[in-house]
Homo-oligomer: A and B are copies of this chain.
Amino acid sequence: MRYGFLGPETTFTHQALLQAFEGPTPVADPAEVTMVPFSSVATATTDLLAGDIDALMAPIENSVEGGVSGTLDVLAATDSITIVAEQVVLISFVLAAREPIALEELTTISSHPHAQAQVQGWLRTHVPAARVATSSSTAAAARDLAEAAPEQARGRAAVCSRLAAEHFGLEILADGIEDTAGAQTRFVLVTREGRIPARTGADKTTIVVQLPHNRSGALLEALEMLSANGVNMSRIESRPIGDFLGRYSFSIDLEGHLEDRRVAAALRSLHRMCPVVHYLGSYPRVDGERTEVREDFADETYDEAHEWLERLSGMIAAPRG
């Protein structure tokens, strides 16, 4: 099997994919998987749909930046891919060099602009004199430093992930240098549509809905559909539909699995009221937290109500004439 990820090797997406092979519910046996780096979610998705890869790990939201538009829009645009797993990676950076060196001897720090933005306070304080150089990714910064000629590596360091530093054999000069600790990115593993992972009891369901435009209060109505079935949201992101100002779709994570009667009932209600409900998958929560369900939202309660109504319906007379 071939699994794609947003590369190059040692990116945070790569790290998310490596994590997905561990833990209580690994997505596959890593021995049977070839990991394939891609330069963008769009190109990887094309390959996924073409059958060149079997799955793809992509970032979906970041605790600082919010939703990852590229992934959200790709997920919304096709009916043929399904989320089968999620991973969360703590976004932390190290400063790494070819060999041990005092910070004040550093002349050049290379990294990706995104990472630089997250460590600029630390750099200003600890290596104020060093020049900042741009690389195409933090992984590339680490790799280039590792592969540079010794005289070119002198006085240089890279801002990258611990995984990258270790992978390319660099020396870690400082750890956890990000200005805001605790930033996290959430990733999803998607496959071509086909199989929804069975319910584990600690699951999430991801959907994209477009609300009806001809009446106000439609978002309120949609949330009431969830509430009426005891279904909580753990994420809601608005995305423009693209035709007019003020028209949005909403990308939503629900707590629970399609197999849960309450989730199924909520989805049916949304399907009735919304012009578009795009089901993207139900999959195990990475935190393993089981959803507590009030008795009136339990499967048995839905089943009993269903059976009661079936019995009543059996008593309806055939229409006259």
What 0/1 pattern do residues 221 to 253 of A give for CB contact below 8 A with B? Answer: 001111110001111111110111111100000
- Do residues A320 and B238 form an inter-chain contact, with CB atoms below 8 A? no
Look across to chain B and name the residue whose beta carbon is closest to the beta carbon of A184: B245
Is the Cβ of A198 less than 8 Å from the Cβ of B240?
no
Give Cα A223 to B219, complex, Å.
8
- Given A220-B227, A245-B184, the answer on whether A268 and B64 have CB atoms closer than 8 Å is no
CA distance A69 to B315 in the complex (A): 28
Is residue A21 contacting chain B, with contact meaning CB distance below 8 A?
no
Chain B neighbourhood of A301, CB < 8 A? 272
**Residues of chain B with a CB closer than 8 A to A238's CB:** 66-67, 236-238
Whether A308 and B242, one on each chain, are in contact in the complex, defined by CB atoms closer than 8 angstroms, is no
Q: Does A306 contact B (CB under 8 A)?
A: yes
Kindly state the separation between the CA atoms of A149 and B287 in the bound complex, as whole angstroms: 63
Contacts of A150 in B (CB 8 A): none
A313 within 8 A of B: yes
Interface size, A (range) = 35 or more
Give residues 278-321 of A contacting B (CB, 8 Å). Answer: 279, 282, 296-297, 301-302, 304-306, 308-309, 312-313, 315-320
- A242 partner residues in chain B, CB cutoff 8 A: 63-64, 180
Q: Is the CB of A271 within 8 A of B313?
A: no
Given A246-B234, A264-B309, A305-B269: A195 and B315 interface contact (C-beta under 8 Å): yes
A193 to B63, CA, bound (A): 30
Closest to A241 in B: B63
**Shortest beta-carbon distance from A254 to chain B in Å:** 11
Decide: A279 and B312 in contact? CB cutoff 8 A. yes
Contacting pair A248 B267 (CB below 8 A): no
Which residue from B267, B273, B282, B317 sits with its C-beta under 8 Å from A198? B317
B219 pairs with A233, CB closer than 8 A: yes
Given A66-B240, A243-B63, A308-B271, A220 and B216 touching (CB < 8 A)?
no
Whether A248 contacts B228 in the complex (CB less than 8 A), given A220-B223, A272-B302, comes out as no
B88 touches A245 (CB 8 A): yes
List of B residues within 8 angstroms of A268 by Cβ: 302, 305-306, 308-309
A8 at the interface (CB under 8 A from B): no
Complexed CA–CA distance, A259 and B318 (Å): 11
Report, nearest first, the 4 A-B pairs whose CB atoms are least far apart.
A271-B305, A268-B305, A220-B223, A198-B319
Pairs across A and B, CB under 8 Å, 27 listed: A63-B243, A65-B69, A65-B240, A66-B69, A66-B240, A88-B245, A196-B312, A197-B317, A198-B316, A198-B317, A198-B318, A198-B320, A217-B232, A219-B233, A220-B220, A220-B224, A223-B223, A228-B228, A228-B269, A258-B313, A259-B313, A264-B309, A267-B312, A268-B309, A269-B305, A272-B301, A272-B302
